[in-house]
Each structure stands twice: as structure tokens, then as C-alpha cells.
Amino acid sequence: MKKRAAPNRHRVALGIPTRNRKTVPQFDFMCGRYSQARTRAEIELEWGEVRIELKKPRFNIAPGQFAPVIRLDDGKPRVDDLRWGLIPGWAKDAKIAFQCINARSETVADKPAYRGAFKSRRCLVPADGFYEWLPRGKVKLPYRFVRPTGGSFVFAGLWESWQPPEAVQPLWSHDFKKDFGIKTPLWGFSGHPLVDGKKLICLAGGDGSVAVAYDKDTGKELWRALTAKEPGYAPPMIHEFGGKRQLILWHPEAVNALDPETGKVFWTHPLTPSVRAGMTIPSPRKVGDLLFLTSFYNGSLLLRVGAETPSVVWQSKKVSEMDTDGLHSVMATPLIEDGHIYSPCSYGQFRCLKLETGERLWETFAPTSGKSTRWGNAFIVKNGGRSFIFSEQGDLIIAKLTPEKYEELGRAHLLDPVNHDPGRPVVWSHPAFANKSIYARNDQEIVSVSLGR
């Protein structure tokens, strides 16, 4: 038998079919006990490659006890001993387990306690009988229900992993504000860290500590570098230019390239004027020996980068959110393909530009806000010969982007825009793609939608 899961780690709830009150008017089916009393040989005969060892027959399996459960492991069935009574991952107390021993088919997809497991953590619970208690005068008598022909059956089940909050302890931590004597940036420490080998490279801020590298396993500081009034929000990126790995750090005062191993500065390109409001947000994009950057007020900058120094190919001449040239993206990282840039601009104009010159070829509001709107936004991910575009209205759009036109192939509404920070309802979270699905969230929920059909 498989080794038992650690207590309070893996839990299961049984699925109960929709009730038919015409055929069973006396009571609701809510399984509170079941049995698995068949021999190992009988079970193996019925389940084939699935092996369930029973040390002894069990005629009264109750909530809170461990019992065999069949789950898929890399596409193949395996048996684990799980505790009956599901604890949702968000629960703070294990007592909820005894409220989650059964899930109704009518509501399992919507109930907060079950809907996550229903989508991706299903299992089978072998049994050969279950019990219901029927009133007989002042007492209730248990009745064991079995198949008319005998043999085993399965309950549909859901499983979760859970640990009590006090059992989860950090391996290490750092507080940037205390360590470097800095204040939290206006939009937080939101430039995500970069893992490079055993290093964790973070965007922090302050005097000599805009970028800080730690040992990812121990938290030991390896190096720190750069000084700026604001760190900005663009994540650290490693690109190879001139045969040399270069860590690109773009803060509001300069674009910098560092040695990711030591933090040594290879080169710095000062920005004059500096990026307004600290809004270095979209990720710098590399195309060959070119590095493209864009921001809401300051517009675009295209650098040609070698092993030692960069040179300017072109940059926006206008520092403005309305009277613009080039591309003024607020947060979306542009798609660059075949010498052309595709991205939202400052007021939601989804534009196509020539990479080498910044010349604008066309624009549309269709994939962003539908009209001219400050900070109108959409996120773009290339997929084969088409692009997935997730709009700020919560729509997933499939489009073909070419230098000639924007061609929309289809769209579906995934989430309602519920964030009102910009003065209108928006969804401003970048989706993720995995397992032939899109994962998207607003401020209230997260959804997974299949793209495999």
C-alpha cells in the first residue's frame, strides 16, 4: 500500500449524484459511512492494473479516517491513502473538513470549497457499499446499500492539499524598506524577480541597491548595484548581445547592462529627460542586436547594442500622453515580429509600427477599450500564425496581426472588469497559458478556459 499522506495534507470529498425525489422520497443521499470489505483478489480482478491492498475488510469507513483513493499520476492511475474530509487550500482551520465530506453535483462547480478541485483535482473512491440512516420511531437505523449483483463501485471524489498556516515557515526573507532604507514605490515592488541559476535578482531601489542578487536557496546577498531615485517597474531581463550575457535594468533615469554574475556595470545609457512618474513598466524587447523600450509619457527608444556600448537608432521626440509619436505603451509589452511592432498606445490605440523607424502604419481600438481612453490596454501573446489578445474588458481575442491590418478571428468574454482604479472598470492582469488553457483573473476570481478545441 502506498505510504499514507501526512496528516492534514491531502483530503478528499465524495461526490453525490443529483437526487431523484420521485424514486427516493424518504431521504437525501448524503453518504456519511461506507464500506470496502472485498478481498484484494476480488478488487484486482475488477480494477486491473490498479492495485489496492487492504490489510483487513473495513465495514465502517468514517469521515476523518484514511482510505484508498485512485488518482492519476502522469496519466496513469495510482492509489494513495487520503483522509476523508476536504479542506480547501484557502482554509485557515482544519475543522472545516467535517463540513466538506460530500459535494453535490448540482453545486460542485460553483461552491468556493470545491470549484478549484472540481476543475483539476478529481479522483475515484472505491467502495462496495454505503450506509444511510432511516428513522424508525425515536431512533435511526443504518441500512447498507450494495449493488444488486455484488461487486465494487466508485464514488466520484475531489482532493486537495492543505497545511495549517503555522506549519508553513519561510526559508528566508528580506525587507527591502528596512535593508536599504527606502520607501515603497507608488505601485509597489511590482517588477518581478528573475531566477538565473542559483541567483535571485530583484528590483529593489535606493543608493547602490536598485538591483540586488541573492542566493535563491539561502537568501545570502551576492551583490547589489545601481543608484536611482526610483527603481521603476520593468522586470530584470537577461539577453545576449555581442556574445555576452547582459542583465538589462531599465529604471527611470537610465538603461543599464550588468554582468549577472557579479553586478558589474557593462554600460549605462542615460535617459534625458528621465521617464516621468517612474513609469518604466513594459519589459524591454530584444530583436537581434536591437533593444526596444516604451513608456506612457516618454514614448519609445530603440538601441543597437554591442558587447560594450549601445547607440540610439531612434527615439520619440515628444514627452506627452496625448501628443505622441512612436509608441507610448503604459504597461503592455509589445509584440515584435518581422520588423514590425504591435502594441496598445497611451489612449488605447492598438498600433502597428515599423521597428527600424517608428513609423505608424495603422491603428484600431477594437482589442483594447473600444474607444479613445486614457491607459486603454490589452496584453498580447503570440501563438503560431495568430495572436492571443486579452483586453481590459476581460475578452480573449484571437487575431491575425500583419503590417497591412488588424484581423479579428474571434473573441470570448472570460471575466468581468471589476477594478475601478483608472476611473472605469478594467481587468489589468496579464493572463498565463499552459496545458492548452488560458488562466486569467480579475480582483474577484481566477478562471481556466480550454483552448484545445
All three cell numbers of 21, joined, read 425525489
Torsion of CA 318, 320, 325, 326, to 10 degrees: 100
Within 8 A by CB and 6+ apart from 50, the residues are: 44, 70, 77, 78, 79
Q: Write the CA distances from 79 to 31, 50, 59, 158, 335, integer angstroms.
A: 21, 7, 20, 14, 46
Checking 26-29 for CB contacts under 8 A at 24+ apart, the result is: 26/134, 27/132, 27/134, 29/132
Mean pLDDT, consecutive 10-residue stretches, the chain (453 aa), reads 39 51 38 80 58 75 90 82 89 87 89 88 90 89 89 89 82 95 93 96 96 97 97 96 96 97 97 95 96 98 92 96 96 97 97 98 96 96 96 97 97 95 94 94 92 80
pLDDT at 9: 52
Sign for the CA dihedral angle at 39, 43, 44, 49 comes to negative
Cross-strand pairs, 177: none
Q: Name the helix (H) or strand (E) containing 357.
A: none
CB-based burial label for 417 (10 Å; 0-12, 13-18, 19+): middle
Spell out the domains of the chain, with CATH numbers in brackets. 10-164 (3.90.1680.10), 340-453 (2.40.128.630)
Within 8 A by CB and 6+ apart from 281, the residues are: 232, 233, 234, 295, 296, 329, 330, 331
Integer distance in angstroms from the first to the last C-alpha of the chain?
Answer: 39
- The structure's pTM equals 0.71
Edge to edge, the sheet with strand 285-287 lists 285-287, 290-295, 299-305, 310-315
Q: Determine the Cα–Cα distance for residues 203 and 191; give it in Å rounded to an integer.
A: 6
Q: Determine the Cα–Cα distance for residues 351 and 338; give it in Å rounded to an integer.
A: 15
> By three-state DSSP, how is residue 267 classified?
strand
Residue type (1 letter), 313: V
3-state secondary structure 324-345: CCCCCCCCCCCEEECCEEEEEC
